[in-house]
Structure 1
Amino acid sequence: MLEYFKLILSKVSFDRKLFEKELLKAIKTLIPDELRELRKWCYAKFGDVYQPILNKCFLTNT
């Protein structure tokens, strides 16, 4: 599932709302180990553009 969500997030990264929606879906679906890996990956790949969204989603939902 982790690789699936990485693919989806990459494809929807052009749209802030869609990115946030899919990120929240991933956070609710993944197990803790996968979630830690997703968090690292998201900050590395999208941190410069979506840091406020990442902070909000990961801090309030993990």
Structure 2
Amino acid sequence: MLDYVKSILSKVSFDKRLFEKELVKAMALLVENELQNLKEWCYQTFSSKHGDVLSKHLAHI
């Protein structure tokens, strides 16, 4: 499931609102260890473009 979520987030990263929507959906689908991996990957991949969205939704993980 994590690979699927990464694929979706990569495809929608051009649009901030869509990215945020898909990130929230992804967080509901994943289990705890996958969430940690998603957080690390998101910050490595999208921090320059969507850092505010990531901080808003992933800071508590």
TM-score (norm 2): 0.94
State the number of aligned residues: 61
- Map residues 11-22 of structure 1 onto 2, 5 A cutoff: 11-22=11-22
Percent identical = 49
Amino acid at match of 1:40: E
Offset of 1:17 from its aligned partner?
A: 0.5
Letter in 2 for 1:35: L
Unpaired segments ≥5 residues, structure 1: none
Paired position in structure 1 for 2:37: 37
Give the TM-score, by structure 1 length.
0.93
1:5-38: CA deviations, max 9, x gaps? 0000000000000000000001111000000000
Q: Any gaps of 5 or more consecutive residues in structure 2? A: none
1:5 corresponding residue in structure 2 = 5
Give me the whole-angstrom Cα distance separating, in 2, the residues matched to 1:41 and 1:32. Answer: 14
Higher RCO by CA contacts (8 Å cutoff, separation 6 or greater): 1
Partner in structure 1 of residue 56 of structure 2:
56
